[in-house]
Structure 1
Amino acid sequence: MHTQYYYFVTGLPVITIEDSKLPFSPDEFLQDAQEHITTSDFQLLRWLRLPEKVMELLNVIYNKNDMLHPVDEESIKFYNEYKEHLKERAGEPTLPVRKEFKIFPDFLHKILTELYMEEELPPYQKIKHKLLEATYEFCCKSTDDFLNQWFNFNRDMQNIIIAINGRAHNIDYVPYLIGEGDLVEKLAKVHTMDFGLGKDNELFENISRIYEQNNILYREKHYDILRWKWIDDFNFFNYFNIERILGFDAQLRMLNRWIKLEPVKGKEVFESTIDTLIKSFSFPEQFKVKSISKK
């Protein structure tokens, strides 16, 4: 039975992806949530943010400046401290993980410690794939309905985007597909235009339509619109439980990213198509399952 957070959820503002201002920052929301929800539910919030944190950390390790996923100075400082700790553990593997870094799961400490045991850093894409695969495997095992279905949905999105992009640029994308299953097998082995998925796979159809636009920012924004719509649909019957809070957090972070990226330039282009796209998106049956709020 889910704990019901009537007071906390009632106080959350309504946000849309078209908003130009944040009601509060994602960090402020996390701090506030910690005071109002159970320890176990707060841990779910941390796991929800894990792929984002992993990518930020990886970009700091490899000194990459990712325009689409900017990292604030405070986080960079924390990641650099963690990086130095990993180097210490690489030289002394029995060294325990410091308390402040235990917010990360064990698999991350293990993979990154082994990374620094090598003579030189392996190629970025190789480690990125290894970390993402481990992260999705970890998160998709969650017993929480929202986390489980959210990460499965995002993993499928990621795989379809990788396959479409790889084929468009004549790149061997198969080694970078994440996980296993029927979708991954078709993306890897079927060479028809639709990878054998057919028009019944609405997720593939939606992503294909977005990819047709030859503008990276446009694509990224509309992938997030697709994610936003999924959250709204999933939480249609969720009102005051942790699922509602998880969905709000995911949407708040998407909004935060786009406000940082597009204060003025390109905003008009995005706003002119948002309403049409939101209304036109539909979802595969496996992603239409609603998580009904437990009383």
Structure 2
Amino acid sequence: MSKYYYLIAGLPNIALDDSKMTYSVSEFRQEIEGQLSKADRKLIDLFFLKYENGNVVSHVKYPDRDSDSRGRITYEEFNDLYKALKDEEKPPKNEHIPPYIEEFFKLYLAEEAKDVKGEKVYISWEDRLAALYYDYAMNCGNKFVADWFELNLNINNMLTAITCRKYGLDKSDYIIGHNEVAESIRTSNARDFGLGDTVDYLPEVQRIAEESDLMVREKKVDLLKWKWLDENTFFKTFDIESVFAYLLKLEMIERWVTLDKTTGEKTFREIVGAMKNGSENALEEFKRNNNK
């Protein structure tokens, strides 16, 4: 396993309440990728697939939308794969595109071919892709990275389920993924979803869910994750896990530095209003705003 003594020793200290960015996530990637082993670069690339995911959805749903520059797979690469699958031809080999994206395209094309007019579709395409991404990431072979993605999946599912309960919606229609926590949330009617003895951060998530101020709630979620990163890298000071954790922390800071508070609060009020009116799109919007 590679050690990154000089790289990590030279990184500036950062905190969640920093008002300025030390690096953007893109700048940090450029700074470190030449110093990492090939295997460790793949772990960092795994993080950046979240931006590729946004570009994938844009490709099939919003083709005129600009791509997120933090992704490196080109529109042409996506389009070559999508077109081959649509024409039922052999997909071109492309080591940059992970297999779950091909699986997503197949699902999308299969659904598109059906006559689904009038049917209720609760799980958005963004969430279907996210579920495939989480599953792919949780099988990356690095326990810390896999656990990080599972933590995010669990928190998002817990917050979604609590919101469903609050507004009388069927949580099983909105939970994504197939790990033990997701299955327990889908099937259990207990207040703790049957997770009280297995998920130690559930009480904190439940307290966070009671927070009505969007900005405060978002910050508490990030604090929970920041604490998890610190605890789980304590004995891995110079390993790739600490490099990965630093990247994740930079992303949190970048988001808070650039977040428009007025817009965030307005969006939250609109989401809650939609939920109270029974909108079918309410949970999709809620989860997009809580999917970090």
* Same topology, TM > 0.5: yes
CA drift at 1:55: 4.1
C-alpha spacing 1:147/1:198, structure 2 compared with 1 (3 Å) = closer
Structure 1: which amino acid aligns with 2:7? F
C-alpha spacing 1:114/1:208, structure 2 compared with 1 (3 Å) = closer
CA drift at 1:219: 2.0
Conservation of the 8 A alpha-carbon contact between 1:48 and 1:147:
no
* TM-score where L is the length of structure 1: 0.74
Post-superposition CA distance 1:67-88 (Å, at most 9, x none): xxxx976358966555544542
Post-superposition CA distance 1:7-66 (Å, at most 9, x none): 1111111111101111121111111211111111101101123345424542564349xx
* TM-score where L is the length of structure 2: 0.75
Which structure carries more relative contact order (alpha carbon 8 Å, separation 6+)?
1
Structure 2: which amino acid aligns with 1:152? E
Matched residues in 2 for 1:217 and 1:131: separation? 26
Choose which of 154, 157, 160 in structure 1 pairs with 2:155.
157
2:89 matched to which residue of 1? 94
C-alpha spacing 1:130/1:11, structure 2 compared with 1 (3 Å) = same
2:144 matched to which residue of 1? 146
Matched residues in 2 for 1:149 and 1:185: separation? 17
Matched residues in 2 for 1:228 and 1:59: separation? 30
2:33 matched to which residue of 1? 34
1:45 matched to which residue of 2? 44
CA drift at 1:218: 2.6
> Which 4+ stretches in 1 moved above 6 angstroms?
76-79, 263-266
C-alpha spacing 1:86/1:260, structure 2 compared with 1 (3 Å) = farther
Matched residues in 1 for 2:114 and 2:26: separation? 34
Conservation of the 8 A alpha-carbon contact between 1:17 and 1:225:
yes
RMSD: 3.3
1:22 matched to which residue of 2? 21
Q: Identity, % of aligned pairs?
A: 26
Choose which of 94, 108, 111 in structure 1 pairs with 2:104.
111
Could you tell me which runs of 5 or more consecutive residues in structure 1 were left unpaired when the two chains were aligned.
65-70, 267-295
Post-superposition CA distance 1:209-233 (Å, at most 9, x none): 1111112333222211211111011
Structure 2: which amino acid aligns with 1:109? E
Matched residues in 2 for 1:87 and 1:200: separation? 41
Conservation of the 8 A alpha-carbon contact between 2:46 and 2:137:
yes
